[in-house]
Amino acid sequence: MKRLLDLFGSTVGLVLLAVPFAVIAVLIKLDSPGPVFFRIERVGQNGKPFVPWKFRTMVAGAPNMGLGLNVSESDSRITRLGNFLRNSSIDELPQLINVLRGEMSLVGPRPTFAHQVAHYDDSQRRRLLAKPGVTGLAAIKGRNSISWEQRFEWDLWYVDHWSFGLDLKILVITQWKAFVTREGQYGEAGVNDDFGADK
């Protein structure tokens, strides 16, 4: 049932968003030099690496500048268009391609980096049992505004209590969070922290 929801949702979404995606791609190219998409390897289900599709919201080469993979609310690397795409979470929507390919799910723990997984304990590693999601339970419970420990708790609760109804509920709440309240885009003091960076 979960895979059927992913196939249906990603197919319909990509068809409906084809024209808006094309417009956004042109605007990104006009806004700043560089590629349309930001692609960097993440860790997927059972530790398998994959590369998510994501609209570029920062200047080209941003991971090698400033805060690196961390991002602040006033980060000078964020482009004018990128600020809108990030605040509305539209930059994440190309991940529907990954959902269609079976690398991601509409709902699940958010994709993580290999250097973060290297710091997981045995309990935290269980979040890799599920496919990473375009949205997830931790995302609607606070996203970057809650601690990594809290995010892990919500992700593991999701892994243990998944249901079709829960996925539908998370998808509905995600729309409210992304387009209305826009909560949790950045962490404490306006900076997103990198798990394991202090270890």
**Per-residue pLDDT reduced to its tens digit, 116-163:** 999 999 999 999 999 999 999 999 998 878 888 999 999 999 999 999
How many CA within 13 A on the CB side of residue 100?
A: 14
Query: If you compute the radius of gyration of the chain from its CA atoms, what whole number of angstroms results?
Result: 16
Residue 1: the pLDDT is 92
Phi, psi of 170 (to 5 degrees): -65, -40
Among the listed residues 106, 154, 155, 151, the one whose alpha carbon sits nearest the alpha carbon of residue 128: 155
User: pLDDT digits over 68-89, tens only?
Assistant: 888 888 889 999 999 999 988 8
- Please indicate, yes or no, whether the overall pTM of this predicted structure exceeds 0.85: yes
Question: Which of the four pLDDT bands, split at 50, 70 and 90, describes residue 188?
Answer: low
pLDDT at position 198 over 60: no
**In the chain, where does DSSP find H-type helix?**
2-31, 80-88, 96-101, 114-117, 137-140, 148-161, 164-176
Contact 38, 64 (CB under 8 A): no
